[in-house]
Amino acid sequence: MKHRPTIRDVAKKAGLSLSTVSLVINNRGNVSPGTRESVQKVIRELAYHPTRSARGLASKTSGNIGFILSEEHFSQAEPFYTRIFLGTEFEARDHNYYILLTTVGNQFDPDEYVPRFLLERNVDGIIIAGKVNEKLISHIDSLGLPIVLVDYEIKRAHHSAVLIDNWRGATLAVEHLLSLGHKRIAFVGGDIRHPSITDRHEAYQNTLHMAGVFLEESYEVTDEEETSVAGGTSSAERLFASGAKPTAIFAANDAMAIGCMRYLKSRGMSIPQDIAIVGFDDIEISSHIEPHLTTIRVLKEEMGKIAVQRVVDSINAKTKTVVTTHVPVELIVRESTVALAHVED
């Protein structure tokens, strides 16, 4: 018999029944310490390891966690969600789960296409990163699978979520600019419908308001479809075309900030002397572009880790507790911000 040992072999060699061995493997039930010991000894001797699919079939668990991401987010060069994903991979390992990744389009029709791991009953819980179609989310919900959202939130339905502390981040960013003497601080947002951007925008307004700074509407560019570098460039263009004369810009994310910088440079303005700029996210390239971008650091890997912890908790728990976690942010001051040179009226 050159076969891999099965639980049967272990039971036989230990002179016990299958169920006792099974109980030991899953350290469940009341097994006497002596029995447990001897079973473990046999397991070691035989180098026995349970087969995943057999456990899966019998226990109706897969040992996998599904990670769902929109196609756009997966494809985009900016590795924001990718970092969150890598964080889940890291943490999943410690919990003896594997992550199954899938991307989905913006539309969702259960008769058209459903992520394969859902159909195959190949996941025990789901992590959803970023915005995806809500119908998909409720479909998963109807399957009874635990769901954890990352960097996305749905007001109506109640799901556990791991969120960026956007409000605090934006407040830090604007306060930083204020403390440098800036008053005419513009906001360059993107898709204002994304909850994160909305929060950043509102915190921006609130912080200025609290500081007694009142600006015209032209200082806010929030009608850009794309929260991207290109979107940042075109937003900056429209900002200046509108007649606004900002001494600083708070961009809703680093990509847009970089887009703004690109525009400013092309117009011969120098950063931060002529205009200061703060981003949000602290993506990789922010510390490499010139000047190095002052930004709000988001702990992306950490978000992935927390998401895994939440979903594993939900898998093990019988009760559906909803937990919302706001991951802290941090102001990273680099070269793109500097004190206002001279006071202007």
The one of DNA, a second copy, none whose footprint includes residue 77, by CB under 5 to 8 A per kind, is a second copy
Angle subtended by helix axes 229-241 and 254-266, to nearest 10: 50
* Closest to a second copy by CB, 18 or 210: 18
* Closest to DNA by CB, 54 or 317: 54
* Closest to a second copy by CB, 246 or 304: 304
What one-character DSSP code corresponds to residue 72?
Answer: H
- The 3-class SS string of 179-240 reads HCCCCCEEEECCCCCCHHHHHHHHHHHHHHHHCCCCCCHHHEECCCCCCCHHHHHHHHHHHH
Identify the H or E element spanning 331.
Answer: strand 329-332
Nearest distance in Å: CB 49, DNA: 7
**Helix-, strand-, coil-residue percentages of the chain, each rounded to 5:** 45, 15, 40
Q: Does 18 bind a second copy (CB under 8 A)?
A: no
Q: Does 193 bind a second copy (CB under 8 A)?
A: no
* Closest to a second copy by CB, 122 or 218: 122
What one-character DSSP code corresponds to residue 292?
Answer: P
State the residues that interact with DNA by CB under 7 A.
3-4, 6-8, 15-20, 22-23, 25-26, 28-32, 34-36, 48-51, 54-55, 57-60
* Closest to a second copy by CB, 61 or 205: 61
Q: Would strands 248-251 and 276-278 be described as parallel, antiparallel, or unpaired?
A: parallel
Residues 286-345 that bind a second copy (CB under 8 A): 288-290
- Residue from 8, 116, 158, 245 touching a second copy (CB under 8 A): that is 116
Residues 66-85 that bind a second copy (CB under 8 A): 74, 77, 79, 82
The DSSP bridge partners found for residue 103 are 69
For residue 16, give the nearest of 49, 52, 40, 47 by alpha carbon. Answer: 40
Nearest distance in Å: CB 56, DNA: 8
Contact set with a second copy (CB under 8 A): 4, 49-57, 62-64, 74, 77, 79, 82, 86, 89, 93, 96, 98-103, 116-117, 119-122, 258, 284-285, 288-290
